[in-house]
Structure 1
Amino acid sequence: MYLCKSYFSFNYGTFSTEELVTAGAEAGATTLILTNINSTCDAWDFVQFCGRQNIKPILGVEVRNDNTLLYILIAANNKGFQRINEFLSEYLREKKPFPPCDSPDPIFHNPADGFIIYPLGNKSPEALNSNERIGVLPGEVNKLLKQPLASYPDKWVVRQPVTFQNKTYYNLHRLLRAVDRNTLLTKLTPEDIASTQEYFLPQVELLTAFRQYPFVITNTYKLLDACSIMMDFGVDKNKQLFSASREDDRVLLEKLARDGFRLRYGANKKVKERFNKELRIIDQMGFTAYFLITWDMIRYAQSRGFYHVGRGSGANSLVAYCLQITDVDPIELDLYFERFLNPHRTSPPDFDIDFSYLDRDEIIDYMMKRYGRDHTTLLGMYPTFQYNAIIRELGKVFGLPKAEIDDLAVKGYYNGNSRGESFGKTDTDKIHRAILQYGKLLQNFPSGLSIHPGGILISEKPLSSYCTLHLPPKGFPTAMIDMFVAENIGLYKLDVLSQRGLGHIKECIQLIKTNHHIDINIHEIDKFKKDPAIKEQLRAGNTIGCFYIESPAMRQLIKKLKCDNYETLVAASSIIRPGVGRSGMMHQYIYRYNNPGKFEYAHPKLKEILGSTYGVMIYQEQVIQVAHEWAGLDMADADLLRRATSSKYRGKGHLPMLKEKFFAGCAEYGYPTDVVEEVWRQIESFADYSFCKAHSASYAVESYQSLFLKTHFPMEFAVAVINNFGGFYSRELYFYELMKTGAHVHRPCVNNSDYYTNIHGKDAYVGFVHIKGLEQTFATRILEERERDGAYADLADFIQRTAVTPEQLDILIRTGALRFTGKNKKELLWEGDFLQKKTKAINPMPHPLFKEPPISFTLPDLPVYPMDDFYDDVELLGFPAGDPFTLVDDDPSRYLPAHSLAGHLGETVTVLGYHITHKPVRTIKGDTMSFGTFLDANKDWIDTVHFPPIHAAHPPQAGFYRITGKVIEDFGVYNIEVTRIEKAGIKTRTLQTV
C-alpha cells in the first residue's frame, strides 16, 4: 500500500496534494493513504482530489519524534480520523514527545476505528493487538526469513512510502532536510533523509517483491478494504445554536435587534421594511446563531471597556448596526445587504471585528472559554517559500558566504509579475545554477505552520472531527487547516482582528478623563460628521495619527478631493487601494469629482449603477452590480466574479468561464466591444485590492473617531499614538506632532517620567520605554521605588534605593534622566562612578534606617557642549527630543518654507527638508522612482517626486537634505519634482554654541 506524504510533511515531502493524487492515478493506484509526518493539514483536500480521480482515499499520519519513525496511524473510519486528530493535538499542544511503541495505552480506544502500522523491527508480532500490523518495505522482504510468519500470518502488510517524484525531487527533498536541520547539505546523516526508493513504485514491482509471501499482499488488501472516510463538503459545520433551540435563537435575535432599532431609528417605518426583510433572510439561511455569537462577543468587550470596529461586508447589515456590531449606518450610505448575505451567494459571509492589540487576546480567551476549547480554535495558515527566502536558505545549505548569497539574491530577473521576482538563468558556477534550479521547484512550498491574522472557528461537533490542533507561541490552540480548507468543508470563520488605531482611541479617552475630567462618548459619529473643526482638519489633510488616513498618499488624496464629509472619506478609503490606482481609476475619480458634468459615462446604463461614484468602479459591490445589472450575469455568478478576481480566492480557475459569460451577456445587449473590454479591464485590474463599500465606511467611522480626538484634544491624542507605538510613521514624527500642539516635550526624568510617555497640563515626559538599552525590569524598579518612598533626592539617594548597575546608570545619565540634581552629565558620570565603587562591597539597602547626607565633590572643570544632549538623544532615544533642525549644519531661514510653495508654481526652488519617509515604486519600464516626504523647519510637509535617475543617484535616507526642483500642482496639492538633492550635514558635537 502507498503511504503518501505531501509537502505538508513540512521540509520533507515534495508533492503538492493535488500532484500527489494525480501521480497516484498515473501509477494505477485505486487506493491511496495520506500519512504526513505529525500533520493532517491537507487531509480534506486529499479526500476531495481523490474523489475527482476516482481513487479511494484513506487518512492517516506518520508519527515521529524528531527523526525517529515510531508508527503509522491509519483511520478505518471518521471516528478513527477524529481519534488521530485528538491524539496528535494532545501531544502537539503540550509539546511533549509521542509515546513509544510499547506504550500500554491504546491509541484507538475502539480497535475497529483504526490500525497501527509499525516498521519492521520496532515491535515483535507476538506483542501486537488485533488492530496492529507490521509494515514491510519491498527492500526488507529478505528479512522475513527470520520472522515467525507461520505463527502470526495476519500481522504483516506491505509498506511503500511515497515522498518524492523522481531523482530531481529527491535532491530537492535533501535540500529541504538540510534547511529543516539548519545544516550544510554535506552534513546530513542517513537518519535525516528518506530512502531513495520512496516514490510511486509500479504495482507490478510491489507484487513481484512479495510474490513468495502472498498472504502479506492479502493482508494489505484486507486492511485497505476495512477503511473508508466520508465528508459532506460545504455543509455548515459551525455552531448551530446560541441558546436552547433554533426558535429561541430567532426570538432572541429579533428582540435584541428591535431594541437596537428603536435606539438607532426610532419608529422609522420605511427602514423597518428592510429590517424585517434582513431578519427573515438571516433566519432562513441559518445565520441566527452566528449573529448572536458575534453580539455576545461585542457585549463582553463593552463590559470590559474595550473599543471595537465592526467592518467588512457585515457592515452592510442593518441588523448588525442595530446590535452595535458595527457603527456604520447602512441606510445613510445605501449599503447593499445582499453583498453580505443573500440566497444566491456562493460563499459564506463573515464579520470582521477589530479590537485594540492590547485587548484582542482577552477576547479570544473569552471565546475559548465561552464555547469550549474542544469547539473553538484559531484558524491556521501556511507561510510559503518565496524568492528571497529560498535564495538565502539554499545558499546557507550549500555553505555560501553571506556576501555571495546577497549577490545571488539580486540575480533573479523581473518578468512582470506582481512581485517582480523569478528565477532567471545565470552564467555563474555550478552551485549558483543548482540554487536557482531547485529554488524554482521550491517556490510556493509551505514552509511551516502559522496563524491566520484573525480567524476563529467555532464548530458544532468537536474540532477533532475535522482537524488537528497545535499550540504556536501565541498560546492559543490553532487549527492545522487554513481558511480555504475550512470554508470548503463548511467551517466559516469569525475574524477577530487587532490594530493599533483602537489603542490610540482607548488611551486618549483615558488621558482626557484623567487630565480634564471629561467622559467622551466615542460612538457619537453623527455629531463628529457635522463638526466644523473636524471638517477643516480633513480639508487641510491634518490627519497624522488618525487611523487609515495619515499616510502621505492618503493625505494628498484627501486634499485633492477637498474632502470634508463622510461619504467622500468613504470613497477615498477605497480608491487609495492599489488596485484602483493601478487601473487608472483613481485619477479618473479625482478628475470627475472636481469636474462634475465635464465627462461622459462609458455607457448610459452605467450612469444608473455608478452615478454616485462618477462612473468609476471603486467598491466591490459595484463589480456585482455591473456584472448582474449591466452584463446580465445571475447573482451567483456576479458574486463569484467578485471573488474570482481577488488574490485571496483559491478558485481563480473560474475566471475564464466568467469572462466568457460576461462578454456573452454584453453581446446580447449589443454593447460596443471597446466599451465591454474597458469595463472588463477595470473589473479585472482593480478588484484584486478593492474594498466593499461597507468596509471603507467602517474605516471612515474609526477615522472620524480619531479626528475628533485629534481636533479637540491634540496633546492627549499625540501621546496616545506615541504610547501605542505609532501608526504609519516612526515614533519620532509623533513626538514632533506633540510639539506642534504646544506641548513641552521633556527628556526622560527619573522623578517625572513613567514607563510610557505621560502628559500633565502641557508638560510631556518621554517614557522610559523609548530609552535604548534600559532594562524593563529596572525601569519598573525605578517607578515602584518612587511610588513607595517619593521622589529621588539626589544621585546618592537614587543609587542607594535602586541598586542601579553602572551600565544602566550610564544610560540614564546620558539621556538626562538625572538632570534634576542640577549637575551636568560629566559631573554625574564622575560622581556616580565614585559612589558605586564606594558601595560595591556593601549590600544595597533600599530603605536605610539612617539617611546619610550627600557627599560633596570638588571636580575639575569639565567642558559641556550644547550639542551633547542632541547627540545622546539620537544614540539612546533614536531621535532628538527637541527641534530636529537644531542639529542641521545650515540656516533654515535661507530656504523656501513649505507653506510658500503655492506662490512659486512652475518655478525651480530649493528647500531644506528632514527626511521622514519615502515610497519606492516601479515604473512601466521596470525602473525605480520614489515619492518622498520631508519636514521643513516649521514642521510642515514637503512632498517630493524623484524620477529614476535622481532616485538611483541619491535614494533618500535618514537626515537633512537640500532639495532643488520644480514646483508642480495636482488638484491643489503641491509637490517638488526633484532635479537635485544633496545631504546637508549636522553640527559637530563639540560646537560651542547652537
Structure 2
Amino acid sequence: MYINCKTYFSFRYGTLGTRELVSLAADLGLKTLGLTNINSTADVWDFVDYCRSEGIKPIVGTEIRNGDQFCYLLIAKNEQGLAEINKFLSIYLMVKEPFPIRSDRFENVLVIYEFESILPEDLHPNELIGIQTTDLNRFAMLEPYRHPSKYIVRHPVTFKDKASYNLHKLLRAIDKNTVWTKLRAEELAGKHEMFVPESDLMVKFRQFPYIITNTLHMMEGCGIETPLHTDKNKKHYTSSKEDDRILLEKLAIEGLQYRYGNSPMAEKRLFKELKIIDEMNFNAYFLIVWDVIRYAQNRQFYYVGRGSGANSIVAYCLRITDVDPIKLDLYFERFLNPHRTSPPDFDIDFSWKDRDEVIDYIFKRYGKDHVSLLGMYSTFQRKATIRELGKVFGLPKEEIDNLIRLKGIPLDEDKIQKAIFKYGVMMENMPNHLSIHPGGILISEKPIYHYTVNELPPKMFATAQIDMFLSEKVGLFKLDILSQRGLGHIKETIRLVKQNQGVHIDIHQVEKFMMDEKVNNNIRKADTIGCFYIESPAMRQLLTKLRCSDYITLVAASSIIRPGVAQSGMMKEYIERFHDPEKVVYLHPKMKELLEETYGVMVYQEDVIKVAHHFAGLDMGEADILRRAMSGKYRGHEKFYNIRDKFFSNCKSFGYDDRVTAEVWRQIESFGGYSFSKAHSASFAVESYQSLYLKTYFPREFMVAVINNFGGFYKTEFYFHELKRTGANINLPCVNKSEYLTNILESDVYVGFIHVEKLEKELCNRILNERQMNGPYAGLEDFIHRVVPGPEQLNLLIRVGAFSFTGFGKKELLWKANFLVSRNKHKDSFGLFKEEPAEFELPRFTDYPLEDAIDEIEILGFCVSTNLFKLCDDEGLGTIFSSEIPKYKGKVVELLGQLVTIKDVRTIHKDLMAFGTFLDQQGNWLDTVHFPNSLKKYPFQGSGIYRLRGTVIEDFGVFNLSVQTMKKAGIRDKKFKPVG
C-alpha cells in the first residue's frame, strides 16, 4: 500500500532517513515498500539494501514535481524500468526544463496520476490514478465503478510524527526563503502523510475493495532484482576479457624494459600482479587508466599518479605512476588482493588548467550514456542550520549570531530559541543539495541510467545523484581525476623556460633529480617556498629537523607531517629516534629487520602489512584486511576477529614470547589508526622533487609560474617576495610590456594585469589585442585614442604605474588624463584623422615615494617598488635579524617582522596558542611560537609589521622565537621625504 514514500533525499521536504524509513516499515510488518523521492533516485541502492536485509520487497521510482506542483509518480516494474526513469529524469534535469504535465511513454514503468488531474478514460495502458484517504469522499461521488481497474491506493509517507511534520514545515520555509508562518498549503505535505497500520488503511478503502486488489496486483508486478556489490563497470577495454589480458601484458612488458631493463626480480613481480589483476577482472580498469594517461601525454599534460595504485609495478611500467614499488618496498596487496571487498582506485592529479579537458576526453571516449562524474551531498551542519532556522523563525541577524555562539544552550524562557536548537539537532547531517565529488568518475558497462540519474551542476559535466558509498554498494568503481595547482606550476615553468631561455626540460627524469646535490642541498636548507607539499612552515621545520637531503627521508617526512601522526606524538618520537638511532630498542630481531628504515616506528600503512606478513605469518591479503581494520574498517567484523586469532596463533607457533606478541599487536593497533600510505607519500615526494629541481635551476621562471597558478600555501605577495630574492627585476604593470598574467622579458619580470584590483578583464583584452595588432603605445594620449578606456579604469592604470615609460609622474599623468578624457566626451574619438596633441603647461607637483607604495598596496594588495619596512614608523632600533637568531639561543631578543601566516592550535588543555611566520627586514623567514598567555595578552591584529620580543628556542636545529610581547607598528606619513 505504501508505494509513495520519501526520505530526506527529497531535499528540504522529506524528513526520514533511508534506514529509518525501512525500519518503520519493518516494525509495521510491511512486506512491500516503495521509495519515490521528488525528482530523484539518489538513495535507491541503500533503500534496496535495507529492504532486503529486513525481508521487505523494494519497489523504486520517483515523484515528479514542477516546483510545488505534483505531476505523477513513476514506478519501475523492473531494472529496465528504473533505467527508463533515471534517463527521463536526467533529460529534464540536465537542461533544467519543466517536466511534461503528461508523462512520456514508457515500456517498463507505471505512471500514477493524482486524483482529478486526468480522466480515467484518457489513460494509457501503463497509467493509473492514485487515490488518497483524503480523496475518498469526493471519489465516492464520481461513479468510480466505470473504470475500476484504473485506481490504486496512494498513501504518501513524508514524516514520522508531529515533530517531524513541524520539521518538514521548517524545511519548506528554508527552501522558500521565507518565514514559516507565510507558507501556503500547496507548499506543504498533508498532515496525514505518515505510516499507519496497513489494516487501518484497508479499513478506510473497504468500500472499494477493487482498489485494494489493484494495488496489491500492481505491487506484485513491480520490483527490483539488481544484485548489489557485483561488478557493474565497463567490462572490456578491447573486445573481450582475453584481448584485454593480452594487451595489458604486452604493454606491461614493454614498460618493464623502459623502467628496469633486464631485472628478473621485477619481471617475477610483474607477472604475479598481472595474474591477480586478471583473476579479479581488473584488466579493463588498468587499460582505461592507461588510455587516459596516454591521452594526457599526447597533449603534453603533466600528471601524477598517486594513492594505493602506486603500490603496483604494473602501474609503474604503464607510466601511470612514477613511484618504483620495488625500490620503496611497496606491496601490491595494499592496492588489490582477493580479500579486498571494496574497490580500489587510481588517483590521477592533473593541472587545474588541464583537468576539464581530460574529463571531456573520458566522456567522449567512453560515451556520455556510460560516464558520469560522481556526486556527493552537502549536508546541514550546526552553524548553517541555526542560521537557516533563525531566519525562518524571523529572528534578526544579531540574535542569530548570538545563538551560534551559545553552542546549544538556549535561554530558559525563550521558546523560539529552544525550538531552533531542537529542530537544528534533527536537521543536522541531513542532505541539503547535490554536490560534486572532488574527482570521482564512473564508467559503466550498461548505460549509467541503470544505476543513477545525472544532473548538470555548474562544472557542465553530467554528475551522478549517487555518492561514492552508493556507487561502491551497487558495484561501480570510481576513477579519481583530480586537480592541483602544483602541476600547473611545473607545466608553466617548463613553458616559460623554453620561451625565455630556449631550454627543453624532461621533467620525468626524477631519478636524476634525486641524485642532484644542488637540489638535495635546497631540501636540507628547507629552501622550498613554492614547492608542492614541502613549503609550509611546519614542513620546512620538519625537513630541517630531519636534515632531509634524500628521497627516502622526504617520503617519511611527507607521511609523518600528517595530522594523525603528529597529534599522536609519533612525529616527535620519530625525530628523536632519527637523531639517536643507537638508543632505539627493538622488540625482536625480526622487528629490527622490518622497521629499521623508520627506526622502529610504523610510519606507513605498508609497515602494518609488513609486520603482519613477515612477523606474524599472515598472507598479504589478510595483512591488508588487518591494515584496513586498524584504520576503522572491519573492526568488530567476524573477518577481523578471525585474522586477529590467526595473528596470535601464528606468533605462538613461531615461538615468540607472549609478551612480545602482545606488544607488537598493541603497536599495530596504535600505529595503524593514524599511519599513512607510503605509496601516497612517495607520489608526493616525486612531485616535490620535480618542483624543487625547477626552483633550483630556473628560480625566476618557477616563481612566476607559482604566481600565475595562484596556488600555494602563502599569499601572492610572498611569492613576489621570493621572486625578488632570485635577483629578478620586478616591474609594475605596464601597458606596453605586461600580459594578463605575470610575464618574463629577458631579465625583467612584469606584474600581470590580473593583479590590478577592479581592472576589468574586457579592458585588459582590448589593451593586449590593440597592442598586438598595431604595436606599442606611444604615450598616454595614443593609448586613450586607441583603447578608449573609462576614466576610472584609466586612473587605476596610471596610479599603478602602467605609464611610467612616458617619463611623466603620476600626478602629471592623472591631470593630463582627466583633461583628455573630458575633451573626448565632446568629440568622436575615432575620427578619420588623428589630431595633433594638445599643448598645455602642467603645474609643478611634489612626488613622495611612499605615496607610490601606498597606491600599490591599495591597488595590487602588495608593494613592488618599495621595501614595505620603509613604510613602517618603527626604525628597528635594538632589533636583530632572523639570520642572527642562532647566536642568541636562550636569550631574549627583539625583531621586526612582516606577518606572513598564522596557524592556530589548541593545547591539551584546550587553550588557544599559535605559530606565526614572519619576514624580517632582510627578507629572511622567521618562525614564532605564541603560547596561550602571550597570545591572550598580545593577539595578532591583521597583516602588517610587528615588533616582536621573545626568547630564542631551539629544537633539533630549528630556531624559533617564543614571543613574550608583540606590538603592531604603524605606517609613516606618506609625505615622508619628498623627491626633488
TM-score under structure 2 length normalisation: 0.96
Deviation at 1:148?
Answer: 2.9
- Alignment pair present for 1:324 and 2:309: no
- Classify 1:568/1:297 alpha carbon distance in 2 versus 1 (closer, same or farther; 3 Å): same
Q: Which residue of 2 aligns with 1:874?
A: 857
SS at match of 1:556: helix
1:931 is aligned, of 903, 915, 922, to 915
- Classify 1:636/1:903 alpha carbon distance in 2 versus 1 (closer, same or farther; 3 Å): same
Question: Counterpart of 1:510 in structure 2: which amino acid?
Answer: R
Q: Which residue of 2 aligns with 1:442?
A: 427
Q: Which residue of 2 aligns with 1:724?
A: 709
C-alpha distance in 2 between matches for 1:83 and 1:235: 21
SS at match of 1:498: strand
Does structure 1 retain, via aligned residues, the 8 Å contact 2:602–2:675?
no
C-alpha distance in 2 between matches for 1:309 and 1:457: 20
C-alpha distance in 1 between matches for 2:729 and 2:322: 36
Superposed counterparts of 1:540-689, under 5 Å: 540-602=525-587, 604-628=589-613, 630=615, 636=621, 638-644=623-629, 646=631, 654=636, 658=640, 662=644, 665-666=647-648, 669=651, 687=672
SS at match of 1:379: strand
- Classify 1:172/1:632 alpha carbon distance in 2 versus 1 (closer, same or farther; 3 Å): farther
SS at match of 2:135: helix
Deviation at 1:318?
Answer: 1.0
Does structure 2 retain, via aligned residues, the 8 Å contact 1:162–1:199?
yes
Does structure 1 retain, via aligned residues, the 8 Å contact 2:306–2:347?
yes
2:475 is aligned, of 483, 486, 490, to 490
- Alignment pair present for 1:954 and 2:945: no
C-alpha distance in 2 between matches for 1:655 and 1:592: 36
Deviation at 1:577?
Answer: 0.5
Does structure 2 retain, via aligned residues, the 8 Å contact 1:633–1:662?
no
2:957 is aligned, of 968, 972, 984, to 972
Q: Which residue of 2 aligns with 1:31?
A: 32
- Classify 1:770/1:683 alpha carbon distance in 2 versus 1 (closer, same or farther; 3 Å): farther
C-alpha distance in 2 between matches for 1:91 and 1:338: 44
C-alpha distance in 1 between matches for 2:646 and 2:225: 39
Does structure 1 retain, via aligned residues, the 8 Å contact 2:82–2:450?
yes
Question: Counterpart of 1:324 in structure 2: which amino acid?
Answer: R
- Classify 1:172/1:807 alpha carbon distance in 2 versus 1 (closer, same or farther; 3 Å): same
C-alpha distance in 2 between matches for 1:965 and 1:474: 50
Deviation at 1:453?
Answer: 0.6
C-alpha distance in 2 between matches for 1:599 and 1:935: 38
Deviation at 1:988?
Answer: 2.2
- Alignment pair present for 1:818 and 2:818: no
Render the CA deviation track for 1:45-93: whole Å, top value 9, x for unaligned.
Answer: 1000001111110001000011111000001111111100110011111
Q: Percent identity?
A: 56
Question: Counterpart of 1:810 in structure 2: which amino acid?
Answer: N
SS at match of 1:448: strand
SS at match of 2:438: strand
- Classify 1:822/1:525 alpha carbon distance in 2 versus 1 (closer, same or farther; 3 Å): same
Question: Counterpart of 1:222 in structure 2: which amino acid?
Answer: H
Deviates more, 1:392-401 or 1:373-382: 392-401
C-alpha distance in 2 between matches for 1:339 and 1:429: 55
Render the CA deviation track for 1:549-606: whole Å, top value 9, x for unaligned.
Answer: 1011111101100000000001111111111111111111111111111122355543
Question: Counterpart of 1:90 in structure 2: which amino acid?
Answer: I
Q: Which residue of 2 aligns with 1:305?
A: 300
C-alpha distance in 1 between matches for 2:618 and 2:7: 39
Does structure 1 retain, via aligned residues, the 8 Å contact 2:846–2:978?
no
Deviation at 1:182?
Answer: 1.7
Deviation at 1:664?
Answer: 8.4
C-alpha distance in 2 between matches for 1:673 and 1:258: 46
- What is the CA RMSD across the aligned residues, in angstroms? 2.1
C-alpha distance in 1 between matches for 2:622 and 2:972: 65
C-alpha distance in 2 between matches for 1:893 and 1:677: 61
1:372 is aligned, of 347, 367, 378, to 367
- Classify 1:748/1:89 alpha carbon distance in 2 versus 1 (closer, same or farther; 3 Å): same
Does structure 1 retain, via aligned residues, the 8 Å contact 2:410–2:417?
no
C-alpha distance in 2 between matches for 1:684 and 1:374: 45
Q: Which residue of 2 aligns with 1:850?
A: 833
SS at match of 1:455: strand
C-alpha distance in 2 between matches for 1:557 and 1:448: 41
Does structure 2 retain, via aligned residues, the 8 Å contact 1:722–1:735?
yes
- Classify 1:129/1:781 alpha carbon distance in 2 versus 1 (closer, same or farther; 3 Å): same
Deviation at 1:622?
Answer: 2.1
Does structure 2 retain, via aligned residues, the 8 Å contact 1:901–1:967?
yes
Deviation at 1:675?
Answer: 7.5
Question: Counterpart of 1:75 in structure 2: which amino acid?
Answer: A
TM-score under structure 1 length normalisation: 0.95
Deviation at 1:909?
Answer: 1.1
Does structure 2 retain, via aligned residues, the 8 Å contact 1:6–1:14?
yes
C-alpha distance in 1 between matches for 2:365 and 2:800: 48
Deviation at 1:186?
Answer: 2.1
SS at match of 1:382: strand
- Classify 1:405/1:645 alpha carbon distance in 2 versus 1 (closer, same or farther; 3 Å): farther
- Alignment pair present for 1:61 and 2:66: no
C-alpha distance in 2 between matches for 1:171 and 1:624: 51
- Classify 1:630/1:953 alpha carbon distance in 2 versus 1 (closer, same or farther; 3 Å): farther
Deviation at 1:666?
Answer: 4.2
C-alpha distance in 1 between matches for 2:868 and 2:301: 37
- Classify 1:435/1:944 alpha carbon distance in 2 versus 1 (closer, same or farther; 3 Å): same
Does structure 1 retain, via aligned residues, the 8 Å contact 2:76–2:82?
yes
Superposed counterparts of 1:864-903, under 5 Å: 864-882=847-865, 883-892=867-876, 894-903=878-887
- Alignment pair present for 1:353 and 2:348: yes
C-alpha distance in 2 between matches for 1:863 and 1:61: 74
- Classify 1:555/1:677 alpha carbon distance in 2 versus 1 (closer, same or farther; 3 Å): farther
Deviation at 1:657?
Answer: 7.8
Q: Which residue of 2 aligns with 1:240?
A: 235
Does structure 2 retain, via aligned residues, the 8 Å contact 1:582–1:686?
no
**Paired positions, count:** 973
Deviation at 1:344?
Answer: 2.4
C-alpha distance in 1 between matches for 2:937 and 2:173: 40
Q: Which residue of 2 aligns with 1:985?
A: 970
Q: Which residue of 1 aligns with 2:948?
A: 963
Q: Which residue of 2 aligns with 1:741?
A: 726
Q: Which residue of 2 aligns with 1:943?
A: 927
C-alpha distance in 2 between matches for 1:464 and 1:961: 60
SS at match of 2:13: coil
C-alpha distance in 1 between matches for 2:97 and 2:60: 23
C-alpha distance in 1 between matches for 2:747 and 2:641: 61
SS at match of 1:449: strand
SS at match of 2:433: coil
- Alignment pair present for 1:15 and 2:16: yes
Question: Where do 5+ consecutive residues of structure 1 fail to align?
Answer: 413-422
Q: Which residue of 2 aligns with 1:861?
A: 844
C-alpha distance in 2 between matches for 1:676 and 1:179: 57
- Classify 1:265/1:428 alpha carbon distance in 2 versus 1 (closer, same or farther; 3 Å): farther
C-alpha distance in 1 between matches for 2:669 and 2:113: 53
C-alpha distance in 2 between matches for 1:676 and 1:908: 50
2:110 is aligned, of 115, 122, 147, to 115
C-alpha distance in 2 between matches for 1:240 and 1:328: 27
Superposed counterparts of 1:188-207, under 5 Å: 188-207=183-202
Q: Which residue of 1 aligns with 2:167?
A: 172
Deviation at 1:317?
Answer: 1.1
Q: Which residue of 1 aligns with 2:146?
A: 151
Deviation at 1:296?
Answer: 0.8
2:402 is aligned, of 396, 401, 407, to 407
C-alpha distance in 2 between matches for 1:480 and 1:635: 36
SS at match of 2:339: coil
SS at match of 1:383: strand
Q: Which residue of 1 aligns with 2:217?
A: 222
C-alpha distance in 1 between matches for 2:597 and 2:216: 66
Does structure 2 retain, via aligned residues, the 8 Å contact 1:119–1:136?
yes
Render the CA deviation track for 1:689-746: whole Å, top value 9, x for unaligned.
Answer: 6431111111100000000000000000000000001311111110000001001111
C-alpha distance in 1 between matches for 2:864 and 2:637: 55
